[in-house]
């Protein structure tokens, strides 16, 4: 079949890891006989330099006409001035909001070969296989009022945590549907003991859960969740939570996998009947200016993000599995980029790693 993919490499290591993901997709194309039609757009800091804005309306229009967006990373010291009116991050926030991508899926798996090389305890890492679903277009990041002002008492600021029943329900449905394809357990994370939004979150999660009697639902408070992620991470299957709680918990969970360079993500909106729909796929890491241009970036997070795209937006399960198996194979064979290299490891550069995956 023919699929349209919008590619936005971005800044720093973004273009470096994107090149490897496209290399792997090229092989998938040959091997399985699909046609991927690519369109490429400049976003982030590179777009600020070229167009004066991080995200052009043309880019959004092209994204909407595509089956999926493959997103590298944006940002860098060159555009870090906090007083600037345009910022590279506008590209990712704008893309999520304007495409209605309300569910961010972040799988956390620890390759068995990496467990022994981790600085964390093997008995804690054994069997870790979870997906954290972060609500992405509501909550504390977007609630109004959101402003700063000054009065007789000095400087003041407010952010608002607001959720509607509909916003909570739709992301919970994503969690239960995913759990059905996995170990059938959903952990809903809130702060129901203190926050009204937490009470609403818990009520709605419970109601949605009734429609999935085959899936176990547990509720835990966000502070306890932070603790359990370190103490018994293997007990989680699917976690679903508010935007900012999810932001914090997923960085914590990423450390279980050893490196940001191993962590893919998918941001999804409304789904079609067959379960597919437009999505944005990106590694959870940023543009890593400290290693950009040196061939040190780990391309696996970007490659695994492309695998998620194959499965969740293009409906190509077998092809996604082939890519994931190839990643497992190169890890098993001992290839390591510097971020995941233990003592005595076979250290390879970004391109060698990408080519090895494509080859497998």
Q: Report the relative pairing of strands 68-73 and 335-336 from DSSP bridges.
A: unpaired
Number of CB atoms found within 10 A of residue 52's CB: 10
247 is catalytic: yes
Choose between 9 and 246: whose C-beta lies nearer to Mg ion: 246
93 touching ligand NAI, by CB under 6 A: no
Between CA 226 and CA 253 the distance in angstroms is: 9
Residues 6+ apart with CB under 8 A from 294: none
Choose between 289 and 315: whose C-beta lies nearer to ligand NAI: 289
Place of tokens 């999810």: 246
132 touching ligand NAI, by CB under 6 A: no
Work out what residue 247 binds among ligand NAI, Mg ion, none; the CB cut-off runs from 5 to 8 Å by kind.
Answer: Mg ion
Q: Is 275 annotated as a binding residue?
A: no
Choose between 292 and 358: whose C-beta lies nearer to ligand NAI: 292
Catalytic residue among 11, 90, 141, 237: 141
| Residue 335 CA from chain centroid, whole number | 24
191 is catalytic: yes
Binding piece for ligand NAI, criterion CB under 6 A, among 74-82, 132-140, 143-151, 238-246: 74-82
| Residue 11 CA from chain centroid, whole number | 17
Q: Quote the tokens at residue 355.
A: 């080519």
* Closest-CA residue to 243 (of 96, 108, 110): 96
Choose between 188 and 250: whose C-beta lies nearer to ligand NAI: 250
Q: Which helix (H) or strand (E) holds 129?
A: strand 129-135
Residues 6+ apart with CB under 8 A from 165: 200, 204
Q: Quote the tokens at residue 3.
A: 């699929």
Site mask for ligand NAI (CB under 6 A), range 4-33, x = bound:
---------x---x----------------
Place of tokens 């394809």: 181
Binding piece for ligand NAI, criterion CB under 6 A, among 33-41, 58-66, 170-178, 278-286: 278-286
Q: Is 346 annotated as a binding residue?
A: no
* Closest-CA residue to 29 (of 236, 322, 298): 322
297 touching ligand NAI, by CB under 6 A: yes
Work out what residue 9 binds among Mg ion, ligand NAI, none; the CB cut-off runs from 5 to 8 Å by kind.
Answer: none
Catalytic residue among 38, 49, 146, 251: 251
55 touching ligand NAI, by CB under 6 A: no
Place of tokens 């510097």: 338
Catalytic residue among 11, 163, 190, 191: 191
223 is catalytic: yes
Return the active site residues.
Answer: 141, 191, 223, 247, 251
Binding site for ligand NAI (CB under 6 A): 13, 17, 73-76, 89, 92, 260-261, 282, 285-291, 297-298, 301, 339
């Amino acid at each position: 079949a023919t699929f349209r993919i919008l590619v936005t490499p971005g800044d720093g290591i973004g273009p470096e890891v994107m090149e490897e993901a496209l290399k792997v997709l090229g092989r998938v194309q040959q091997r399985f006989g699909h046609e991927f039609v690519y369109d490429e757009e400049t976003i982030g800091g590179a777009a600020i330099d070229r167009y004066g804005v991080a995200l052009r309306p043309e880019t959004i229009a092209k994204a909407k006409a595509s089956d999926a967006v493959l997103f590298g990373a944006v940002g860098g010291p060159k555009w870090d001035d906090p007083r600037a009116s345009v910022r590279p991050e506008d590209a990712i926030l704008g893309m999520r909001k304007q495409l209605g991508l309300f569910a961010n899926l972040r799988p956390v798996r620890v390759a068995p070969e990496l467990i022994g090389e981790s600085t964390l305890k093997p008995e804690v890492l054994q069997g870790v296989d979870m997906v954290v679903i972060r609500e992405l277009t509501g909550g504390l990041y977007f609630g109004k009022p959101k402003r700063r002002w000054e009065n007789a008492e000095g400087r003041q600021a407010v952010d608002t945590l607001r959720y509607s029943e509909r916003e909570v329900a739709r992301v919970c449905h994503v969690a239960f549907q995913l759990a059905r394809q996995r170990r059938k357990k959903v952990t809903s994370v809130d702060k129901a003991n203190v926050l009204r939004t937490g009470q609403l979150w818990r009520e709605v999660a419970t109601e949605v859960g009734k429609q999935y009697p085959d899936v176990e639902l547990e509720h835990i408070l966000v502070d306890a969740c932070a603790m359990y992620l370190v103490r018994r991470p293997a007990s989680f299957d699917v976690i679903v939570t508010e935007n900012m709680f999810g932001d914090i918990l997923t960085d914590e969970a990423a450390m279980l996998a050893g490196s940001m360079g191993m962590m893919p993500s998918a941001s999804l909106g409304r789904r079609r009947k067959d379960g597919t729909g437009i999505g944005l796929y990106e590694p959870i890491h940023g543009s890593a200016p400290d290693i950009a241009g040196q061939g040190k970036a780990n391309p696996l997070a970007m490659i695994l993000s492309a695998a998620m795209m194959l499965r969740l937006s293009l409906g190509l399960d077998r092809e996604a599995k082939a890519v994931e198996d190839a990643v497992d194979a190169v890890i098993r064979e001992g290839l390591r980029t510097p971020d995941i290299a233990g003592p005595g490891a076979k250290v390879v550069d970004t391109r060698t790693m990408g080519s090895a995956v494509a080859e497998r």
